Amino acid sequence: MVNWTKEQEAAINARGSNLLVTAAAGSGKTAVLVQRVINIIIEDGVDIDKLLIVTFTRAAANEMKERIRKAILAALEASGGREENLRRQINLLNKAQISTIHSFCQSVVKNNFHLAEIDPAFKVGEETEMLLLKTEAVEETLEREYEEGQHLFYELLEMFSAGRDDKNLQDLILAIYDFIRSKPDPYGWLKEKVAEFAVSSEDFASSSMAQTIAEQINIQLDGALELIKSGIDIAGKAQGPAHYLPTMEEDYEKIQHLKDILQESLPLFVDHLIHNRFSNLSRARSECDVKLREEAKEYRDGAKDVISNITRHFSG
């Protein structure tokens, strides 16, 4: 007999509403779900093939099915007058929808191919196969745009392509496509977001999108400050590269200044960011520990990389 916690019992016995259970790995979520299924079968009289049980992986689906089978067999051994129902559940278990979300959706489409108006012999593409198809579609689309020669297309190329190829633009298109697929209405969401950009620079600066961008940048700037601070702490140690301190303290002030400007205005921040330059570390000869010197330099380089990555998003 399992000694369920009060929260686990609530998750097992709750009915008539949506239920969200969050818990750490190894805390018994699967065991709770299995017991919930068993209770629904025995106490509520619902057949196992009327339930939809979805997992993330096929391995997890197989494990779930096996756990439910064992739980039904255990209940069968301890049953008192419910043998017929439990035996029926064992027989129905092979028909039960215990699978990944992909497998379930595939079965729905196969069973309703005439409504979806697709070939009943369809198959699910492998990841590599799908990437090839998407890449071909992007290349064909860009080729068509090249032939039409619209000036807006060439402006787009200039903004997002590097060198003489359009690979960066292709990658961006594919990344956006993959992202919007997670939305209930992908193209509706995309149109909504595009419309948010159809504002003046003054209105955009106060928009929710600009605020979200600023929040994300602020988090990255905080990370850069922490890296510089760690470098400064190392440089200030005994045998540390003290000759690095003036430059790294200057770095800290510059990044803090960028944070302060970001609070005032995103466009103003971008202008300062693009023109920001870091000074070179002093090459003065100094008696210091080589390991400490390299550590301090690595922290500073990490902070500079953070700033460079932010700058890259705005400078193309």
The tokens for 241 are 């590269």
Tokens linked to 215: 């929040």
Q: What is the pLDDT of residues 182-220, one digit of tens each?
A: 899 999 999 988 887 777 767 777 777 788 889 999 999
In three-state secondary structure terms, 131 is: helix
Indicate the domain borders of the chain. 6-113, 127-197, 204-315
Confidence check: pLDDT of 316 > 80: no
What was the pLDDT predicted at 49? 92
Which CATH architecture group holds 127-197? Answer: Orthogonal Bundle (1.10)
3-state DSSP assignment of residue 86: helix
In angstroms, rounded to a whole number, what is the distance separating the alpha carbons of residues 240 and 306?
24
pTM of the model as a whole: 0.51
Hey, is 285 helix, strand or coil?
Answer: coil
Where do we find the tokens 């940048």?
A: 217
**CB-based contact 168:159 (threshold 8 Å):** no
Residue 1 has pLDDT above 80, yes or no: no
Tell me, what's the pLDDT at 228?
95
Q: CATH: 3.30.465.10, 3.40.50.300, 3.30.200.20, 3.40.718.10. Which one for 6-113?
A: 3.40.50.300
Are the beta carbons of 38 and 4 closer than 8 angstroms? no
Take residue 212 and report the two structure tokens written for it: 């979200």
Residue 218 CA to chain centroid, in angstroms?
19
Rounded CA-CA distance 298/69 in Å is 55
Task: Identify the pLDDT of residue 198.
Answer: 78
Amino acid identity of 310?
Answer: I
pLDDT digits (tens, 9 = 90+) for 300-309: 999 999 999 9
> According to the model, what pLDDT value does residue 250 have?
95
Mean pLDDT of the chain: 89
Q: pLDDT of 61-110, one tens digit each?
A: 898 899 889 888 888 888 765 678 888 888 999 889 999 988 899 989 99
